[in-house]
Every structure is written in structure tokens, then in C-alpha cells.
Amino acid sequence: MDFGIGIATSSDSWKLAQRAEELGFTHALFFDTQMITGDCFVAMAGAALKTSRIRLGTGVLVPSNRIAAVTANTFATLNGMAPARIDFGIGTGFSARRVMGLGAVKLAEMEEYIRVVYGLLNNETIETPIEGKRRKIRFLNPEIGLINTQDPIPLHISAYGPRSQALTAKLGAGWKSFVSDAPGAMAAIESMQQSWRAAGRASTDLYATAWTCGCVLAEGEPADSPRAMAQAGPRAAVLSTWRVGRTPRRRHLRSPPRSPAMSRLRAVMSRPTRAI
């Protein structure tokens, strides 16, 4: 089990990422909401220069915010600054598009976007529509070292419904979902596991990220203190942000308070046959 932190991106987000690394967190994920927070890639670059171990990713990137070729180039550039520490999280968009009066990006468009980004990162020649015409594009000189296309950049998809979960399973991507209570988390996990198995994938290969709101506690402060409850809400007070992968690792972090539902959820997550 890995613990990560989601960051409402700002110009000094590197400070949070740096402190999270010092505390043993494994991931720092940056919001891509251009009308609300700062730019995720600018913040990730700052964090890449100020950290050495923590993974840095988009949480999550919205495809319509930039063309796929630019995204591929940016990830490859960040991969040069923080080799093998970059994650590509993507979703169909909610906050970033809603504040501009737009709905979510279509799943087919997101799948095409992912295809182009990873084709370029794999140094392939990709044909894709650009300004109304099919065009062939590729990185022209990755071998001279201006970008890093050698170290892998894992894909993680924010998927809530059955169609997006099926796409996640089809692509063999990591899965992200926001949870607000243990029963809801259980239902989401089981739904994603069904899609994963339906795609013929081993359940132990699924890497999942559960998002929840939280609060950084002061030394000795209980999780249900008035301040914590006001900041994170009563449900979030009994949950923590976690990542579950193939190789659970122990971290010196304060555990969330126990509850029957939470105990059951953690038991499912630690069971090898149902690992997510």
C-alpha cells in the first residue's frame, strides 16, 4: 500500500511535494484545472527539481486542455528532469471543463489522445487528425537527449462508470476513483475488478488509486477534532488517500482510525487474490 497526496496546484506546490517526500509519501499528484488552480506541468517541473524519490503525476490531466503532441513532449521533458518518477493520470474532465460551460470529453476522444501520446513516447510515427487533416508526426531527435523517452511513464485513468472502467482494463492502465465512504469504495473496487477480469487480466496486476479528502493533523490531534472535521468532513476523517500496487510497502505514517467498514475495506485490499 502506497500513500500519496493530491495537490491543488500553485506556483509553490513543490514545497508540499518536498515535504510529502520527507514524510515518506510515495506520490504527489497535481490538479489540471486551469481556471481554478495553477498549471500542473509548471508545478511538476518545480517539484522535479526539489525532490529525488517521490513520484510526480497529473491528477488528472484533461485532454482538451492541450494537444496530444504537446502533452507527450511535456511528459518526456519532465521524464528527463525526474527519470522514472513521472505518472500520466488522465480523465474526461469535470471541474476544468465545467467552469467553461463544457461537458466531459468523449471516451473515444480520450482513448485516441492516449494512443497518440504513448505512440510518440514510444518513438513511433503516429497518424492523427490535426486541424481537420490526417497528419503523421513523431519526435524528430529524441536520441540527442533533450527529452527522455526511455524511462516508462505509467498510465492511470480516472474511471467511475462501467464504460470508462472497461477502457481502463482494455489499456491495462492504473485506475483512479474518488471515494467518500467505505461502502462506496467497496462497490467501486468490485466494479473495477469485474471489468479487469472481463478483459482477461490478472487481478493482482491492477494498480488502484483511491482519492479522498483529508486533513493534516497537528501532533496529538485526534482525527475527529472540530478542525479536522470542518476541513475534511466526517466521512473523510476515517479514510486516507492510498495507492495499492503489486508490492505493498510499509511506511511510517499515522494510520487512519478504525471502523468496521474501514477494516473490511483494508482486509480486501491486502488479500492477494483480490489485490487492486
Strands 208-211 and 174-178: parallel
Counting every residue, how long is the chain?
Answer: 276
Is the pLDDT at 229 greater than 90? The verdict is no
pTM across the whole model: 0.83
Q: What residue type is assigned to position 107 of the chain?
A: L
Question: What average pLDDT score do residues 235-260 get?
Answer: 38
Which range is least confidently modeled, 47-61, 69-83, 203-217?
Answer: 203-217
Output 219 or 255, whichever has higher pLDDT: 219
Nearest Cα neighbor of 122 from 146, 138, 141 is: 138
Count Cβ atoms below 10 Å from residue 205 Cβ, excluding itself.
Answer: 12
DSSP-derived secondary structure letter, 67: -
Does residue 199 contact residue 231 with C-beta atoms inside 8 Å?
no
Write down the pLDDT at residue 234. 56
- The string of pLDDT tens digits covering residues 250-276 is 233 333 334 444 444 444 434 332 232
Report residue 139 as a C-alpha cell. 519526435
**Cα–Cα distance for residue pair 187/13, rounded to 1 Å:** 33
